[in-house]
Chains A and B, each alone.
Chain A
């Protein structure tokens, strides 16, 4: 595809607060975490953290602005704003794009969660473009088309 998705990631990342340092197993603030991923500070896009976020989206059916240690809900639990959800979706798709060739279903799992996150946040900025990106990856991962 010739659509510029790097620019899309940059645009969504620019809406988020700056990356903040956090300790291992400390609380998680989703906005800065996602910004770090999109800005390439964490090139690996840590699988465990992505997995935990997929679980929040798929099982708890919500994305919070912040989580306590061990991805526990904080009290009061505040929903992540649409801009953060959109950036999180971009991060999931970026990770999926890098994992398409792995063949273990990880990319599909990320795309699945990205689509569900978009359903949770119908007002997410650039939602239609993110949805199309997700479907491109879905088709490519299912072996049905080019990315």
Chain B
């Protein structure tokens, strides 16, 4: 039994309109009319004749364009869609079935007796306003975003409805689902009668859900952009549709106007779109995953540095093509980028052949590392650090890192210990400024790479050692200890607590010495950094705290600290 409501759905192609219509159908409700908007370049397909068959084709093309993200996410990230669906069970009705119906052979004509496709340039377009005028005496459900222009409110006799994923009047504006998660700790939804001001009309219904978490499958955390797209493809429209159908349309007998309660506009905050760092916090709360879950299930690389041996034995103009081919075959952006870096460096080698022997020896270490070093992330055949001096492009920009941190000035004339030095390129780059550098690293192949580099550059004030931090002991006390992104690892290769780590740093410094510290990227550490900082401050006084924007995507948003050693660690240290 289906009940028709005196309702026109102003269908702005996208997840919202589809979710509303699907949920209405599943609840036995039907709008009297759908105005299916065909916009912009799609509307132009209709040309002067503006014929219905052409509008239908244009609507199909619009569907593929406007729903590109939900289609792509369902195809490429089914595990993510599955995680979202599971999390929404018990929050909204039939999440899996609703999502399926929204994106599998959805056709507007199945959801109302009258479906009119209206070509439009904007909401000021007379064709839209004329079509709306035919809904006089009815409610009109808006399914887009933003503020509607004044002419729409001047159409006589219509009541414009909208559903918003924030609890009104507290949370208004844009990105409100994410703001709700940060500000109120839970998603909220509100249905209201639209007024000219943003989210300012009378409230028809509100609901604030229990805190929502969508745990992600281990080892498969998509980037924030994809999570954000998924949120607005699947979570946001279902939350809206559930409130609309349950709390507004189902109880409405269709007689008389929908009336709401007046909003108190003196309270609440109007939010704008989130900065990526703020968004990362909100998405981190909504889509929890633990750092230790990320690496182990990553697929093995498809390319191997062993395949490049011959190109370093004898320089070849064919080699860049091989690198380009291998870069295309890799499915992790980091590996693709790494092989492109090698392609670029090889191009440099063709112009500067005297480095060939060095690069041959360095590649040999990468081969050995890939074959024998099982720990994740240190043995995939790529350079993590760059070295301008050696003609190596890495995933992190050593020169930009040193310049941003003013590292050469900081360590000038001082004795420096670098913990977990990777391939040692940073130590080699600051060695000419420092009095002496000791750098150690757990991975022996990386240490050998560092030694090859030191020999090539003729640097003799750097000691390069193989050691874990737990095992590293010396009677020497240093002016500066460099702890760059290694106070914990995500591959389980260290077995010390953070307290032990920073107490050990304290012990290795002379009185008045400094810990110079760089954090992990926020995606790995964001939520935990507050605790790390607390522990650092037990043994050190933080005098500089900066976040530099420089270099590659892996360099960004990391915390840089300069910390002066306290005389004695405070109570609570290990």
A residues neighboring B (CB under 8 Å): 1-3, 51, 54-55, 58-59, 103-106, 108-109, 111-113, 115-116, 119, 122, 127-129, 131-136, 138-142, 144-146
Contacts and interface: CB of A to CB of B under 8 A. Distances in A.
B546 A112 contact: no
Contacts of B281: 138-139, 142, 144
9 contacts: A1-B533, A2-B542, A51-B270, A59-B272, A105-B179, A131-B546, A131-B549, A135-B277, A144-B526
B545 A1 contact: yes
B527 A144 contact: yes
Contacts of B285: 142
B369 to A, nearest CB: 34
A139 B559 contact: no
A108 B183 contact: yes
Contact of B542 (A1, A59, A141): A1
B272 A139 contact: no
Nearest 9 interchain pairs by C-beta: A145-B530, A128-B546, A58-B272, A105-B183, A131-B547, A115-B275, A132-B545, A132-B547, A128-B548
Contacts of B182: 105, 108, 141-142
Interface in B252-279: 268-275, 277-278
Nearest to B546: A128
A112 B278 contact: yes
B269 A146 contact: no
Nearest to B275: A115
B542 A104 contact: no
A1 B562 CA distance: 12
A146 B560 contact: no
Nearest to B550: A128
Contacts of A55: 272
Contacts of A113: 272
Contacts of B269: 104-106, 109
Interface string B548-565: 110000000101100000
Contacts of B530: 139-140, 144-146
Contacts, number: 104
Nearest to A133: B545
B76 interface: no
Mostly helix, strand, loop or mixed at chain B's interface? mixed
Given A3-B543, A109-B272, 18 more contacts: A1-B545, A2-B537, A51-B270, A54-B272, A104-B170, A104-B268, A105-B271, A113-B272, A115-B278, A129-B545, A129-B546, A139-B526, A140-B530, A144-B530, A145-B531, A145-B533, A145-B534, A146-B534
B277 A115 contact: yes
Task: Give the one of B275, B281, B533 with max A CB within 10 A.
Answer: B275
A128 B543 CA distance: 14
A8 B29 CA distance: 60
B380 to A, nearest CB: 30
A132 B548 CA distance: 8
A108 B543 contact: no
Contacts of A111: 278
B171 interface: yes
Chain A contact residues, majority secondary structure: helix
A146 B533 contact: yes
A138 B183 CA distance: 11
A2 B543 contact: yes
Contacts of B560: 128, 132
**Residue among B281, B522, B534 having the largest count of chain A Cβ atoms under 10 Å:** B281
A123 to B, nearest CB: 11
B373 interface: no
Nearest to A114: B275
B293 interface: no
Interface string B267-306: 0111111110110010001000000000000000000000
B311 to A, nearest CB: 39
Interface in B176-194: 179, 182-184
B428 to A, nearest CB: 25
Contacts of A141: 182
A110 to B, nearest CB: 10
A109 B183 CA distance: 10
Residue among A136, A144, A146 facing the most chain B CB atoms (10 A cut-off) = A144
A141 B534 CA distance: 16
B529 interface: yes
A146 B542 CA distance: 13
B152 interface: no
B545 A136 contact: yes
A58 B273 contact: yes
Contacts of B179: 105, 108
B404 interface: yes
A51 B198 CA distance: 15
A72 B534 CA distance: 45
B274 A112 contact: yes
Nearest to B537: A2
A3 B526 contact: no
Given A3-B544, A139-B529, A144-B526, A128 B404 contact: yes
A14 B290 CA distance: 44
B63 interface: no
Interface in B424-476: none
Interface string B113-136: 000000000000000000000000
A90 B541 CA distance: 22
Nearest to A145: B530
Nearest to B274: A112
A138 B279 CA distance: 11
B275 A112 contact: yes
Contacts of A108: 179, 182-183, 278
Contacts of B277: 115, 134-135, 138
A136 B530 CA distance: 8
A128 B546 CA distance: 5
A120 B88 CA distance: 38
Given A59-B272, A106-B269, A108-B183, A3 B545 contact: yes
